[in-house]
Amino acid sequence: MTYVNFKEEVFVAKKQINKRRANNNKLFEKLSENKGINSEYSASEKYSFKEHRKLVLGGGHPKKEDEFEEVKDLDIICAKFIKCRFSNIKFTNCRFIACYFEECDFMGGGVVFQNCTFVKKDSDEKPNLNKEGNFSCEFNNCNIYAKFIYSTIEYIIFDNCNLKNTNFELSDMSSGMIFNSNLDMVIISDTDLSGAKIVNTYIKDLEFRDKDKSKMDEKTFIDKIKLREKTRDEYEGIYTVYENIADKFKDNNLNNNFGEYYFLCRKTQRKALKPLPKISSTIQLITCGYGERPLYAIYFSLFMILLFSILYLFFGIKVNEEIITYSDNIYKVLNLRTFLKDFNESLNLSVGMFAAIGLNEAQPSPRSYMISNLEMIIGVLMIGVGVGSLVKKIVR
């Protein structure tokens, strides 16, 4: 009983990014060819409709943010930045329309994008009533140390990028996509993540620092994190990431999504625990999936019933005043007809003990009293655990 089908979500996200790139390429070629754009834009002659290779913007030794070189009120349209370096620079009130950043480094003291726009939503086609182009920007194979604040980064694509010490603050990142990347010390504050997708990305540290609330919806998807080092530190870091994601879904009243990431959090946390807490966590996992997998209770109960059925055969059951036991002669199992008859009696006894509904013809032998008592205790507990987990899911 899961609510996030990760395999299906990844398939849909890959299809979506291919479609978006095809749309971007089509619009980019068309816009580059005729260089016609709405009169509300004033294309920068220095950067627009050009390919820039190994260009350095800013530069110098790392500086404090208030010492950054500032670039203001530019419209950079259909520009390709290839193997360029951005450092100690602040873009304010700039609009990046159909820009590609390929193998670029945002380094030094970092780069600030304040009140910038990275998407062109209006369509230039006629008629364009109720039509949106969603013409976005792409960052491919880039190393990014930046801050996006009060910015519109809808439909943005980060592919095969390293985002380190990067902040998204008070921005609109709805329908944004991060693919095949690495996130390390990424902080999100009061940012709209509706429809955002993070796929096949290693997230080392992701934190939400909201004064209000970062927004998520049912289309927001964050893929499972594939372990690399499998060390205690990695387990602790990744379960904290899952915990932060789960809490944020819960803040947005998306309790089904919360449950899935909470399950991943607890499952990863178990690997970092000491022996005794780990045993307790393992029991919670296999009996009910930390309250998020009611079917686990059924599977575990069936397993216990079968296990005790076998134990009864070896410790002894009483049928028609005759004690049946296989402990003194294991080769009796080879007589299939007799074994199936005896196993049927022991299974009948096990079901009755587990469900605490009483006995039929078979009953435990004196040697099996402790076994039957133990099974009844486990059965009563599992009924409570299973019903509790199921009710919890139904209420959601």
Give the pLDDT confidence of 43-92 residue by residue, as tens digits. 888 999 999 999 999 988 899 999 999 999 999 999 999 999 999 999 99
Residue type at 358 in one-letter notation:
G
Residue type at 226 in one-letter notation:
K
Q: Rounded CA gap, 285 and 62, in Å?
A: 48
Q: What is the pLDDT of residue 30?
A: 83
**Which structural domains are found in the chain, ordered by start?**
6-223 (2.160.20), 294-395 (no CATH)
For the chain, which residues score pLDDT lower than 50?
A: 1, 129-130
- Torsion angle of the four alpha carbons 29, 35, 41, 45, in this order, in degrees rounded to the nearest 10: 110
Tokens of 214: 């970062």
User: Who contacts 15 (Cβ-Cβ below 8 Å, separation ≥6)?
Assistant: none
Place of tokens 């260009």: 55
Q: What is the pLDDT of residue 359?
A: 67
> Is 210 in contact with 191 (CB distance < 8 Å)?
no
Query: At 287, is the secondary structure helix, strand, or coil?
Result: helix
Q: What is the pLDDT of residue 36?
A: 65
* Phi, psi torsion values for 379, nearest 5 degrees: -60, -45
Q: Rounded CA gap, 269 and 263, in Å?
A: 10
Per-residue b/e over 125-159, b at no fewer than 16 CB within 10 Å? eeeeeeeebbbbbbbbebbbbbbbbebbbbbbbbb
Tokens of 79: 């520009």
Cα-to-chain-centroid distance, residue 35: 41
Q: What is the pLDDT of residue 43?
A: 87
Q: Rounded CA gap, 42 and 95, in Å?
A: 10
- For residue 384, the 8-state DSSP code is H
Find the helix or strand (DSSP H, E) in which 80 lies: strand 80-82
Helices (H), 206-254: 232-251
Q: Rounded CA gap, 256 and 239, in Å?
A: 18
